Copies of this chain bind each other. A is one copy, B any other.
Amino acid sequence: MSSENKKKEGIVPEPSLRRMPCYLAYLKLAKRRNQEYVSSTHIARDMGVDPTQVTKDLSYTSIVGKTRVGYEVNTLIDVLEDFLGFRKLDKAYLFGAGSLGNALLHDHGLDQYGLKIVAAFDIDPKVVGRTIEGVPILHVSEFEKMKDKNVEVGILTVPAEFAQDVAQQMARGGIKGIWNFTPIRIRLAEDCVVQDTSLYAHLAVMFNRMSNIKK
């Protein structure tokens, strides 16, 4: 009888999820300052957000705060990292070892946040066969043969015109989550999550806000 509700219940709003890594970063700085407890009031003041928004966001996790004291910093860090999936390391394939793909391959920061690129795929003979930062670049045709059940995340950095096709290929190959850096909206079956991260979109917002200020 609650199966229709089940869909909604347990669903965390995207705005809240997006703020959580910010709280995490703030807490890590607080830990360095040897703070044992930190209250939503202080988090909110320091971060320039609303205090009740902080408690609401954190209430989606299992953390319980102490009245008049706040949240235990160490516990909250653990809870958040766990909740956000930053603790376990997900293996990922990268599709499209071009300019942006190369940039991501050169970046070591992601390892600390639960993501490890184990192989890259491309079609350009000039890059296929090479190795970047220890990650082999294979031809996309190799992907079909691999079917590694341990790799569920795919990073999509191919040119826009191939985005939809490659995404479908990824889904067929068992990829369950696509981190999509192209500005294309991917249409796929329900069992594959597509997370859009358009850098251009952020640039567009920044340019617009800048021109607003100049009146």
A interface vs B, CB < 8 Å? 10-12, 14, 17-22, 24-26, 28-29, 32, 47-49, 84-86, 90, 99-100, 102-104, 106-110, 113-115, 152-153, 160-161, 176-177, 179, 182-185, 187, 190-191, 193, 195-213
A176 and B182 alpha carbons, distance in the complex (Å): 27
Name A98's closest neighbour in chain B (CB-CB): B109
Shortest C-beta distance, A84 to chain B (Å), equals 4
A198 and B22 within 8 A (CB): yes
Interface-central residue, A25, A48, A187, A208, by most chain B CB under 10 Å: A208
B12 and A208 within 8 A (CB): yes
Choose one: B104, B115, B176; the contact of A210 (CB below 8 Å): B176
Shortest C-beta distance, A167 to chain B (Å), equals 13
B90 and A100 within 8 A (CB): no
Name A90's closest neighbour in chain B (CB-CB): B207
B212 and A177 within 8 A (CB): no
Q: A99-B108, A100-B109 are in contact. Are A21 and B207 (CB under 8 A)?
A: no
Name A152's closest neighbour in chain B (CB-CB): B210
Choose one: B103, B160, B191, B197; the contact of A25 (CB below 8 Å): B160
Shortest C-beta distance, A4 to chain B (Å), equals 15
B212 and A21 within 8 A (CB): no
Q: A17-B204, A114-B203, A199-B110 are in contact. Are A25 and B176 (CB under 8 A)?
A: no
A99 and B90 within 8 A (CB): no
A192 and B17 alpha carbons, distance in the complex (Å): 26
A29 proximity list for chain B (CB < 8 A): 160-161, 184
Name A17's closest neighbour in chain B (CB-CB): B205
